[in-house]
Structure 1
Amino acid sequence: MRKLNWILALVLMVPAVVLAAGKTELTWYGHSAFKLTTPSGKVLLIDPWITNPANKNGKEDLAKLDKADLVLITHGHFDHVGNSVEIAKKTGAKLVSTFDLGKALATYGGYPEKQMGFDTQGNFGGELNLLDGEVKITFIPAIHSSTVVAPEGSADKDIHDGGNPGGFVVSVKNGPTIYHTGDTDVFSDMALIAKFDKVDVMLACIGGHFTMGPKRAAEAVRLVHPGMVVPMHYGTFPVLDGTPEAFGTALKKEGAKARLRVMKIGETLTF
């Protein structure tokens, strides 16, 4: 009888052990586009311009995306809205964005209105607990701009207000906490992020011209204190001429202690 009870207890423990052993995966598609897969297999896409010019396998990667639970969009510019509408229609993914951006994307940008609402819309400082509590998403401000245009081929040629731009801190249960800066300059209140969340991975724009370049991005890293920093939003267009090499040099000069991890397009990191 004791042996039977021991076996039963072991069997009951297996799901918890398997869940605890799950991994979080982070895939970069180039530019600012990432896929985050949680330990239970939930899929979050951030600024999913999968077919950006830097991703030579963009069309194939987009075709393979047959599952997405959430689409997170930092602001309304085309290079961040990207392929989100096509992905949403194919997968049923809900939109995570500010209310203003969500309204603009539904009204002018083609995102299915039924796939957004109070449960996945918020504003800066707000936190959402989603996917049965497996992820917490915090809305972070950014210094940039945000406009929305209608999909290509639409009769609407106007430029519409997309609310304020932002970024996200995504905390994964039994996984890492990831800060996606969106498009931004460095700002001193970035130091407050570390007051509330220990950032394991910072996805930092470094291209310059429209966002902070390597030197200013290094200062942003110093303020946030992440364990690792991954550069993004560089090299897609000629004007985005910030480089990981210049970023690495600037990190050393600033005394930022984060580990620099330069990802290749299509690469996946496992945590």
Structure 2
Amino acid sequence: MSDGRTRFGRRGFLGASAAVAASLPGIPAAAGSPNATSPPNPRPRPKADVALRWWGNNSWEVRLPGGKVVLIDPWLTRFKTGTYAKAGADPNTRIEVNRELIDRLVGSGELRADHILVTHGHYDHISDVPYLAAKTGATVIGTETHLSLLLALGAPEDQLAIATGGEFHTFDGYSIRVLRSLHSASGERAKVAFAGTRPLSRRDRPRVISDLLEGGTLAYQVQSASGFAVLNFGGSNYVEGELAGLRPDVLLLPAGGDRVAEYVPRLLRTLGFPPHVVPTHWDDFDFPLDEPAKDWGGLARLRDAVAAASPGSAFRVVDHREVFTP
């Protein structure tokens, strides 16, 4: 590396820590303690009328009644970065977009979108969004930094909608709730990889992955008109207070979270023990989408943590491009 900038691996992006790699972030407190888990309170659940397709990493396609489609962090290009290798990602890796792949998927009708939701500005979440927005005509939601990056990468300005967290948008047959959230942090100093913000007025084009700043992190709940709700986090951390009262039917839960106190049990408890927990952001994205997903090392620990904290929640692993219908 010519400029000496730090490489980032899964520790930087997902908060994994070698010192706690052998521990389970989801083991509940002892029975009788204030933090102990309790059985979920049974309540009527809405009709399951949503289907989910996983495009790897935190890329999700949410199919809603009436043919509406919401994409979350769609990243199909998956250019090699070495993020999950021992040395970590080279910050000088150039940003690439596989336009041929996107043209084929959109042109064939296999992929479409009414909305694209950006959780944060890192390369594995935002790089393909400008071109996908232009091809699909979708409205894109993100923070000021995210929109600044998207504009600089060529996204249509009239398709961008700014969010700070707290917004609740209703559309024809579905709604989108925007939540303030947190990115994973790593190391003794709890640093966020490629941290920083940039104003909308800044239009210099990002060239390498370290130019794509985190820029604030959002979470999203997508809900059909029947009330069936899917909650997604793009990083393995959250703001507990933002989640009060939410009762998602499907939780898309990132692997990692080792630096977060009671990462899994606290979240599941706050959300009322969702009936479906689907892992996200667990595959090594240096491998292509047409191969089975390769675990970077956090999947088994996440599965064990969910089982310990909420035995009644079904833990459903979805493979690349597989459709999950709850």
Tell me how far apart the structure 2 counterparts of residues 87 and 125 of structure 1 sit (CA, whole Å).
Answer: 26
Structure having the higher helix fraction is 1
What one-letter code is carried by the residue in structure 2 that aligns with 1:75?
Answer: H
Count of residues in correspondence between the two structures = 235
Q: TM-score, normalised by structure 2?
A: 0.61
Q: Which has the higher contact order (CA 8 A, sep 6+)?
A: 2
Q: Are the structure 2 counterparts of residues 36 and 237 from structure 1 closer, same or farther at C-alpha, using a change threshold of 3 Å?
A: closer
Tell me how far apart the structure 2 counterparts of residues 53 and 254 of structure 1 sit (CA, whole Å).
Answer: 36
Partner SS for 1:40: helix
2:246 corresponds to? 197
Q: Are the structure 2 counterparts of residues 191 and 104 from structure 1 closer, same or farther at C-alpha, using a change threshold of 3 Å?
A: same
State which of 225, 231, 236 in structure 2 corresponds to 1:173. Answer: 225
Could you tell me how far 1:22 is from its partner in structure 2?
9.5
Structure having the higher strand fraction is 1
Q: Are the structure 2 counterparts of residues 23 and 77 from structure 1 closer, same or farther at C-alpha, using a change threshold of 3 Å?
A: same
State which of 63, 70, 73 in structure 1 corresponds to 2:104. Answer: 63
C-alpha RMSD of matched pairs (Å): 3.5
What one-letter code is carried by the residue in structure 2 that aligns with 1:34?
Answer: W
Q: TM-score, normalised by structure 1?
A: 0.72
Q: Are the structure 2 counterparts of residues 140 and 171 from structure 1 closer, same or farther at C-alpha, using a change threshold of 3 Å?
A: farther
1:123 corresponds to? 164
Q: Is the 8 A contact 1:140 1:169 kept in 2?
A: no
Q: Is the 8 A contact 2:59 2:75 kept in 1?
A: yes
Could you tell me how far 1:156 is from its partner in structure 2?
5.1
Tell me how far apart the structure 2 counterparts of residues 175 and 52 of structure 1 sit (CA, whole Å).
Answer: 33
State which of 285, 293, 296 in structure 2 corresponds to 1:241. Answer: 296
Tell me how far apart the structure 2 counterparts of residues 258 and 22 of structure 1 sit (CA, whole Å).
Answer: 15
2:156 corresponds to? 112
Tell me how far apart the structure 2 counterparts of residues 70 and 90 of structure 1 sit (CA, whole Å).
Answer: 12
1:82 corresponds to? 127
Tell me how far apart the structure 2 counterparts of residues 63 and 192 of structure 1 sit (CA, whole Å).
Answer: 39
Q: Are the structure 2 counterparts of residues 235 and 100 from structure 1 closer, same or farther at C-alpha, using a change threshold of 3 Å?
A: closer
Q: Is the 8 A contact 1:178 1:202 kept in 2?
A: yes
Partner SS for 2:149: helix
Identity, % of aligned positions:
25
Tell me how far apart the structure 2 counterparts of residues 142 and 256 of structure 1 sit (CA, whole Å).
Answer: 26
2:136 corresponds to? 91
